[in-house]
Structure 1
Amino acid sequence: MNVIQTRIPEVLVFEPKVFGDDRGFFFESFNANQFDAAVGQHYDFVQDNHSRSAKNVLRGLHYQIEQAQGKLVRVTQGEVFDVAVDIRQSSPTFGQWVGELLSAENKRQMWIPPGFAHGFLVLSDHAEFLYKTTDFYAPQFECSIRWDDADIGIEWPSDAKPVLSAKDSVASSLRDARKFL
């Protein structure tokens, strides 16, 4: 497994070693020992989620203010632009973001630690998105930050108008959102 550093040290991209031939391919999508060594601590993953979205669907930027979730995300069909935003007020990278193209083709995964908001934009006709979480979904603690918040300045790789959920269309600005210490 190749570990790729991002501009925010805690957010990592994992690129598997893929073994392929004319029959197909095989790769190890998760190895707890390698993951723990890369992130510098042990996390228990307690929930796996799977979503399917159409082109230009933008989900996020989501987080749970309590029962904060770390997420290990990947795409099994299609392509997305995946984003993590540091919302830890005490962090030197507070308010900064990183984004990566994740696709069924590149098989990369991104680690979004607790304390970050997360979102993605579907670039292909459809995308299937899988992620492991370090805590259970708790809707009473769920928060959203606007995808187009000027204080964050995410450079989304599409000029198309994104398709948003009702919740995401009324999300808070970073300035007004609940944040981690």
Structure 2
Amino acid sequence: MAYNVDITLIKMNKKYYYEYKGKIVNKIVYKGRTFFDKYEKVDKPLTLMIMNEHIERKKIIAHDLINRDRNIVENIVFDYNGNNPELFWNRVSLLLREEGFLNFTAYNSKTPGHLHLYIHKGHTTLNEAIQIGKKLSSKLSLKLPKQWRMFPNDDLPPEFNILNLPYGLFKKERGASWAKHM
């Protein structure tokens, strides 16, 4: 099986990636809390061959949400772990359009019904991305029970601001059709 998920808008840094090891690789103390990391950073390029191993479920591969060279973020992500992805998509897409976000894509994660919704924001400073994520999360929580986490997240160590590569496309929104209504 070949990795054929359209991830062009994610704009991930492919100079390195993270591989899930299934055991504790690193212990990190951050803001008075202890985190146990089960992902190991691999300082090799993320190639199509590695992505194919991920889609074939031979390995679990994650990418970094933060461009560490420039301290910017290309995407703000809802990590939805609820039980009704259609309802979540409908509510969040309305909210994002109201807030002026025109390009966003939801991908299926490993667990059926769970989604990673990437808001394609473009070159955004890390602090600004965190604030936008918190604002969107709080607005959405007025309409839905909170069953998601936001990334990037300043409550987690920088090494934990990673997400597994998508397994498939759920739905996408490209703003050209909605722009005339804004």
| TM-score band, normalised by shorter chain | under 0.3
More strand by share: 1
More helix by share: 2
